[in-house]
Amino acid sequence: MKAAPLYVTGVVGALIGIGALVAGGCANEQQAKGHELYGHYCSHCHGDSGRQNEGYNWSSMPDPKPKDLTNKSEMSTLKDKDIFDTIYRDMKDTGEGGDEIGDDEFGVPTMPSFKYTLSEDEIWAIVGYVRGLHGTKLEFNVEERKKQLAAALVTAQGNLEQATKTYEEAEKKANEEAEKKNVDVDDAAYANELAAMAKAKKELDAAQAGLNNFTARPGKGVSIARPDLTVKPADVPKLVELGKRYYEDKYGCNGCHAIGGEGGKVGPALDRAGFRLNPTWVYRWLKNPQAMNAETRMPALGLSDADAKAVTMYLTTLRAAGNPEGSSNKPEEAPPAKPES
Ligand code: HEC
Ligand code: HEC
């Protein structure tokens, strides 16, 4: 008899829970998705609830340390789109002689970009979740954004149809004229229409990609061709130096990986990467980690071919003796170390 009231409370509680779920519908789904993605891709640095020194990687990171996402007065100064752009951006070379970083352009290399890993839709779900961490709500209209992208695609399709028709008419006219005068067809007579059609085709491709990236992860199904990693011996030192700079100042690899005991511990320590890992494998891993391990926490950071080559060259020089502390942090899902070829 004693247990009865508890049982009753449990049922009522569950019913209220279901009611809220039905009422919330799609918004709740986005909330759950945002929570799950945040847990997988952000919490090691920012903490489960967004507080400082809560994530297991927080204290190992180089400065600046991740800021407090629960700080309402500070976080409220950022617009939804600002937060989105922090997560969805191209990495900037913050080293000496690198890119110019403007006042309003976020340039902390150890906050990774997820532009090349997650869909736009997923990132909006994360932004919504981050808003909840400091007690506010996402105001950005994500459905409207999707509608705009879909409308842009329809417009681009229409433009291409029109441009194709105009081109075909111009070409036909040029052909008829040539026949009448019994001369060769003057290609120049419809060159403008041809160029306009090519431009419309490009715009259609861009609109299609925009809509695709909204719903699908960008690296999905993209396979990385075997790279040519040969370097003239005289060029090696410069390339290694560049790779080291990119490692720290552009892609912030040190936010997640340690070398010589310095750096984050989300990924394995890389002191012995030069012994353990095959350079071709490293290159392909850097370009698209998700293609090799869909669930890895390491994001694709948008490395160009040249950048990936430089960073790979740098990693081949890491050949510390022994088995330094830190490599035991290697997560279970880590890819098997490949022998050097
Ligand atoms: C490797 C560690 C790391 C990971 C992973 C990480 N961050 Fe960060 N984050 C940082 C650092 C470092 C900063 C820069 C210091 C600061 O301003 O907080 C930062 C800054 C931020 C900011 C503040 C932006 C601003 O303009 O001030 C937000 C918001 C944020 N991160 C959200 C996220 C979200 C969401 C994720 C997951 C999708 C994520 N971070 C993943 C390290 C990380
Ligand atoms: C947000 C954290 C994060 C960032 C940023 C990051 N990595 Fe990783 N990295 C990982 C994790 C986690 C793994 C473990 C493999 C897995 O998840 O399958 C990994 C694995 C690796 C491996 C394979 C290591 C081994 O021993 O098997 C290499 C090499 C590597 N990363 C290099 C880099 C480089 C270079 C950069 C910068 C361009 C970088 N990582 C940026 C998290 C990160």
| Ligand 1 closest atom vs CA 82 | 26
Q: How far is the CA of 335 from the centre of ligand 2 (A)?
A: 10
For the chain, what is the domain count? 3
Q: How far is the CA of 248 from the centre of ligand 2 (A)?
A: 13
Token pair for 35:
């929570």
Please state, rounded to an integer, the average pLDDT across all residues of the chain.
Answer: 89
Same domain? 176 vs 260: no
141 in any annotated domain:
no
138 in any annotated domain:
no
Instruction: Report the pLDDT averaged over residues 239-250.
Output: 97
75 in any annotated domain:
yes
Q: Whose CA is nearest to atom 34 of ligand 2?
A: 253
Same domain? 85 vs 117: yes
For residue 298, the 8-state DSSP code is S
Domain termination site, one of 159, 188, 215: 215
Q: How confident is the model at residue 10 (pLDDT cuts 50, 70, 90)?
A: very low
Same domain? 272 vs 177: no
| Ligand 2 closest atom vs CA 331 | 14
Q: What is the pLDDT of residue 321?
A: 84
Residue range(s) defining the domain that contains residue 71: 4-133
Same domain? 203 vs 275: no
C-alpha span between 13 and 18 (Å, rounded): 9
pLDDT at 12 over 80: no
| Ligand 1 closest atom vs CA 42 | 37
126 in any annotated domain:
yes
Percent of the chain with pLDDT over 90: 80
Does residue 107 contact residue 92 with C-beta atoms inside 8 Å?
yes
pLDDT, tens digit, 9 for 90 and up, residues 91-117: 999 999 899 998 888 999 999 999 999
Q: How far is the CA of 203 from the centre of ligand 2 (A)?
A: 35
Q: What is the pLDDT of residue 19?
A: 37
**Residue 77: CATH number of its domain:** 1.10.760
143 in any annotated domain:
no
Nearest bound ligand to CA 326? Answer: 2
For ligand 2, pick from 257, 312, 318, 319 the residue to mutate: most ligand atoms within 8 Å of CB. Answer: 257
Q: Whose CA is nearest to atom 43 of ligand 2?
A: 298
Same domain? 155 vs 38: no
62 in any annotated domain:
yes
| Ligand 1 closest atom vs CA 297 | 5
Same domain? 266 vs 191: no
Q: What is the pLDDT of residue 134?
A: 97
Q: For residue 51, what is the enclosing H or E element?
A: none
Same domain? 67 vs 157: no
Same domain? 156 vs 124: no
**What residues line ligand 2, using a CB cutoff of 6 Å?**
112, 247, 251-253, 255-257, 266-268, 273, 277, 282, 285-286, 293, 296-299, 301, 311, 315, 331, 333-335, 337
Q: How confident is the model at residue 13 (pLDDT cuts 50, 70, 90)?
A: very low
pLDDT, tens digit, 9 for 90 and up, residues 112-129: 999 999 999 999 999 999
For ligand 1, pick from 111, 136, 253 the residue to mutate: most ligand atoms within 8 Å of CB. Answer: 111
337 in any annotated domain:
no
Q: Whose CA is nearest to atom 15 of ligand 1?
A: 66
Domain termination site, one of 79, 98, 133: 133
Instruction: Report the pLDDT averaged over residues 180-191.
Output: 93
Same domain? 255 vs 195: no
Same domain? 322 vs 291: yes
Instruction: Report the pLDDT averaged over residues 163-177.
Output: 96
Range from 11-15, 23-27, 73-77, 161-165 carrying the lowest mean pLDDT: 11-15
Same domain? 183 vs 80: no
pLDDT, tens digit, 9 for 90 and up, residues 25-72: 577 888 999 999 999 999 999 999 999 999 999 999 999 999 999 999
**Helix, strand, coil % in the chain, rounded to nearest 5:** 55, 0, 45
Instruction: Report the pLDDT averaged over residues 161-183.
Output: 96
C-alpha span between 47 and 106 (Å, rounded): 21
For residue 249, the 8-state DSSP code is I
Same domain? 313 vs 207: no
**Residue 263: CATH number of its domain:** 1.10.760.10
In DSSP terms, 263 is beta-bridged to 258
